[in-house]
Chain A
Amino acid sequence: MTDEEIWECMQRDLDGDLSPEEKRQLHDLLLKKPSMQLMYDRLKKVSEQLEQLPPVTPRFSIVDTILPQLESEKVRPAAAAGSEKEILPKLEPKQLTAKTSPVHERRKWNRVTLWTARIGSGVVAASLLIGLVVMGNPASSPDEDEYRQGTSVQPPEEVQPAVVGPPTPPPSNNPSQPIVPEEEKEQSQKEQPVKRQTPKQKTTPVKQQQQQVPAKTQKPDPNVPKPPPKPAVKGQDEKPAFPYGVAVPDEEEKKKEKEKKEKEKEKQDKKKDDDDDQDDRQDKDKDDED
């Protein structure tokens, strides 16, 4: 028997786990091995000390301290009913309600979002329609609005052809165009004499030149027939990019604006040329007099 086996038998002997025969064999071996006998004595002493450990007791009744808590739990069906089993069914409906309520909320939110989307799309469509209607009369509506507002800058431009000379109005499909000359004529007859237009014309080219700076890059064709002047430049500023997303009216407007700008440029150039000619004539006259 090895030392390890003897050690195990010693341990078992201390626990009373050896049979009388095993116990006798162990003691025979220990007599032959003093070191193992010493080990056995020490282990036996430890075991005796463990058996003599004082039986500590609590200073107060622990049950009394937890009795209020136990009494409060008494309201539930007693332990035999199984407290855990009761809790589970309670939790299931809560989980179900917790699961179902978000679904309802989600449906409500989906409905709300659908309605908002519909309303939003309706508003956008309405605004586009209004934009189309408004921009469908690009020449007339801004004029009317501006005249109603009493703007003083635009009327001279409209009457400008009377000063420079009767321009040849190009054929246009715009139904609002015939209205414009009538109004212009009426107003020009009523309010604006021809002489008064000259000082105001000096103010308008400044603005027109400032606004036509980007248009200079587009080389205007002088051979293109000039449409009647339209105060669309200011109208553009007042109504910025209203029909977003509508391709056709924008292009038409842009074309019209370009045409207007080109015409205005040409007019200005002509005026400048006329002025220059007049200045030259005056200079020549002066030179002749001199």
Chain B
Amino acid sequence: MGEAELIRKAQSGDHEALVELLRTIETSVYRSAFYILGNEQDALDAAQEALIRIYRKIDTYQEKAKFSTWVQRVVSNVCMDKFRAKKETVSIDEHELIIPDRNNVEDEILLNSLSQDIKAAIGKLPKQYRMVVVLRYLEDFSYQEIAEALELPLNTVKSYLFRARQQLQELLHDYEKGGIG
């Protein structure tokens, strides 16, 4: 059964179809949450919350947008709520200092030192930049899709993405020099 069929059945009240639809998106939901929030536990909590919201609000989805875009909007909203709950009031020009949790999932990632550096660098980005980067590289969204998911103007998305890459380049260059760990 395709995604469109599952969505249609779920919106018509088919509980099984809705659960099946959630199973198809749970990995992408968790992955985005993981790279946005920076640790497994917060990612699991956010993914659970996002999936429950999707379950409850599936009727509000309209086919004008891609389903994955709508799902990522829900994920980004949940992550923003998490940020607000943690009272992370860091301005967009400031670097955030998120110490990554070292648990099983992350240990697998840390096997690759390159991934370790880029992940640590992502964790230092402002959350708005981080969400744009995650959607661009992990969800392979276009500018327009990112703008729809985050409800941002297109030029703002470009600006965030370009600045995020620039900051990552500077951070990774510092890592190569061994300056900032």
A, B: real partners: yes
Q: Closest chain A residue to B173 by CB distance?
A: A42
Contacting residues, chain B, for A52 (C-beta < 8 A)? 114-115
Q: Closest chain A residue to B32 by CB distance?
A: A56
Q: Is the CB of B52 within 8 A of A69?
A: yes
Q: Is the CB of B59 within 8 A of A58?
A: no
Asked if A56 meets B30 with Cβ closer than 8 Å, knowing A62-B44, A66-B52, A79-B59, the reply is: yes
Looking at the assembled complex, report how far the CB atom of B15 sits from the nearest CB atom of chain A, in whole angstroms. 5
Residue A47 at the B interface, CB < 8 A?
Answer: yes
Q: Is the CB of A53 within 8 A of B118?
A: yes
Which listed residue, A47, A59, A62, A79, touches B13 by the CB 8 Å rule? A79
CB within 8 Å of A: which B134-181 residues = 136-138, 143, 158, 161-162, 165-166, 168-169, 172-173
B interface bracket (residues with beta carbon within 8 Å of A): 35 or more
Residue A186 at the B interface, CB < 8 A?
Answer: no
A17 to B143, CA, bound (A): 9
Q: Closest chain B residue to A50 by CB distance?
A: B137
A50 to B34, CA, bound (A): 14
Identify whether the interface residues of B are mostly helix, strand, loop, or mixed.
Answer: helix
A55 to B140, CA, bound (A): 12
Asked if A61 meets B14 with Cβ closer than 8 Å, knowing A53-B138, A73-B56, the reply is: no
Looking at the assembled complex, report how far the CB atom of B50 sits from the nearest CB atom of chain A, in whole angstroms. 9
Q: Is the CB of A83 within 8 A of B115?
A: no
Contacting residues, chain A, for B29 (C-beta < 8 A)? 62
Q: Is the CB of B55 within 8 A of A70?
A: yes
Residue B18 at the A interface, CB < 8 A?
Answer: yes
Give 6 nearest A-B pairs by CB, closest first: A78-B13, A50-B137, A11-B162, A49-B118, A79-B58, A80-B13
| A interface residues with partner B (beta carbon < 8 Å) | 7-8, 11-12, 14-15, 17, 39, 42-43, 45-47, 49-59, 61-63, 65-67, 69-70, 73-74, 77-83
Taking A49-B118, A78-B13 as given, write out 7 further A-B residue pairs in contact, using a Cβ cutoff of 8 Å, ordered by the A residue number. Answer: A11-B161, A12-B158, A57-B31, A58-B105, A70-B15, A79-B13, A81-B13
Report 29 cross-chain contacts, Cβ distance below 8 Å, ordered by A residue: A7-B162, A7-B166, A11-B161, A11-B165, A43-B166, A46-B172, A49-B117, A50-B118, A50-B165, A53-B119, A54-B108, A55-B31, A55-B138, A56-B34, A56-B105, A57-B31, A58-B43, A59-B104, A59-B105, A62-B48, A63-B19, A63-B51, A66-B51, A70-B15, A79-B10, A79-B58, A80-B13, A80-B59, A81-B59
